[in-house]
Amino acid sequence: MPTPNEILTELRKIRYPGLSRDIVSFGMVKDIEVAQRGVTVMLSAPTTKPEVIERIVEEVKRSVSAIEGVPAVEVNVERAPTPRSAAALPRQPIPGVKRVLAVASGKGGVGKSTVAVNLALAIASLGRKVGLMDADVYGPSVAMMVGADERVRITEARRIVPLERFGIRYVSMALFVDEETAIIWRGPMVTKLESEFLFNVEWGDLDCLVLDLPPGTGDAQLTITQRVALDGGIIVTTPQEIALLDVRRGIAMFREVGVPVLGVVENLSYHLCRKCGARHEIFAHGGGARLAGELGVPFLGELPIVRELREGGDHARPLVAIDPENSMSIRMREIAAQALAAMKV
């Protein structure tokens, strides 16, 4: 017969449906009993959705049954809400902040941070007081896009004073380390820093705080969605199928923790040739709108490939702030207006 630790190792291979975390790290496995008659696995379900619970139970039975020497498998599920249930955790408001908007993506490389930065600036251009928090500790890019030529000031009360440029206040890990410094941190340190950025920054009075989440659906994203009261989430994707697969996980994460999904933005949707005016759909087209329809969430719009958008991000001159009449800036303001209307701010 296998030991409980050997069984636990196999259970770590089972992903929670829609997320990148396994059921062990998610806190579902409460106990494992090994006896002559077989193995009993006790689970604590962090959801009330029967289809999700049934899927996990079947995966556990299949995984444990495949271990050599296991004659039978029984799975008991504690279905009552537990403290580890994300939706049941008490979420804290951020003093002075009226609304919190998270910008997320299922995978990296889709332009999520570029969208987050320009979306924050677009919201500010609509007359709102806006903050921008870079929650991507390992790959912070907000500071480069907005500006990192000033030092962050710490008050006597050990509170962080955010930088301010283009009418928005912002913080990023990149403001605290050199460009060459590798951030090699374990989960608890990342969680602590995110809490500092959320609750120990002098944000002042804001109509909206935009969070640029790390890509994926791991510990960092779940920590934020569990600890702060989010008023909405926007998913950024590109049109190709490999990116759309991960959009489902991002939407599932928001829904699992009770955060309203405000919609999907399709970035890098197409390119317009400046010489001939021809439209080139380099990464395919329409996948974001199709998937939004399938999942029953709003489609907020397409964003084309624009050289000025990339150049602005590379040189701390974000397009929405530098060229507000650019067609891309106008589209960003349209998306911003939809998000503000959905959050009623």
Instruction: Give the CATH number, domain containing residue 193.
Output: 3.40.50.300
For the chain, percent of residues with pLDDT exceeding 70: 93
Are residue 154 and residue 79 in the same domain, yes or no? no
pLDDT band, residue 337 (cuts 50/70/90): very high
* Locus of tokens 């939809």: 338
* CATH label of the domain that carries residue 29: 3.30.300.130
Residue 81 has pLDDT above 60, yes or no: no
The CA–CA distances, whole Å, from 243 to 35, 106, 266, 269 equal 45, 7, 10, 12
User: Between the ranges 3-7, 16-20, 330-334, where is the mean pLDDT highest?
Assistant: 330-334
For residue 316, which of 136, 174, 143, 178 has the smallest C-alpha distance? 143
**Helical packing angle, 287-295 and 241-256, nearest 10°:** 30
Q: What does the alpha-carbon distance between residue 62 and residue 127 come to, in Å, rounded to a whole number?
A: 56
- Answer yes or no: are the C-beta atoms of 296 and 128 closer than 8 Å: no
Question: Burial, 99: exposed, middle or buried (Cβ in 10 Å; 0-12, 13-18, 19+)?
Answer: buried
Are residue 34 and residue 97 in the same domain, yes or no? no
pLDDT band, residue 169 (cuts 50/70/90): very high
Are residue 14 and residue 107 in the same domain, yes or no? no
- Answer yes or no: are the C-beta atoms of 60 and 14 closer than 8 Å: yes
Average pLDDT over residues 88-96: 78
Residue span of the structural domain in which 225 resides: 90-343
The count of domains in the chain is 2
Are residue 81 and residue 107 in the same domain, yes or no? no
Are residue 211 and residue 255 in the same domain, yes or no? yes
Are residue 198 and residue 131 in the same domain, yes or no? yes
> 69-79: b or e for each residue (b if 16 or more CB lie within 10 Å)?
eeeebebebee
* Locus of tokens 């060459």: 180
Average pLDDT over residues 205-214: 96
Are residue 187 and residue 293 in the same domain, yes or no? yes
pLDDT band, residue 82 (cuts 50/70/90): very low
Predicted local confidence at residue 89, as pLDDT = 52
Pick the more confident residue, 223 or 232: 232
CB-based contacts of 159: which residues, under 8 Å, 6+ apart?
A: 200, 201, 202
Mean pLDDT, rounded, of the chain: 87
279 sits in the region (left: phi over 0; alpha: psi -120 to 50; else beta) called: beta
Q: What is the pLDDT of residues 29-80, one digit of tens each?
A: 888 999 988 999 999 876 667 888 899 999 999 999 999 999 999 999 986 4
The domain boundary residue, chosen from 60, 87, 114: 87
β-pairing, 73-78 vs 38-44, is parallel
Average pLDDT over residues 196-213: 96
Are residue 153 and residue 283 in the same domain, yes or no? yes
Which range has the worst mean pLDDT, 155-169, 175-189, 249-263, 308-322? Answer: 175-189
Are residue 196 and residue 311 in the same domain, yes or no? yes
What is the value of pTM for the model shown?
A: 0.74
Q: What is the pLDDT of residues 289-305, one digit of tens each?
A: 888 888 889 999 999 98
The domain boundary residue, chosen from 87, 110, 128: 87
Are residue 76 and residue 211 in the same domain, yes or no? no
Are residue 38 and residue 173 in the same domain, yes or no? no
The domain boundary residue, chosen from 28, 60, 87: 87
Are residue 234 and residue 278 in the same domain, yes or no? yes
Q: What does the alpha-carbon distance between residue 25 and residue 19 come to, in Å, rounded to a whole number?
A: 12
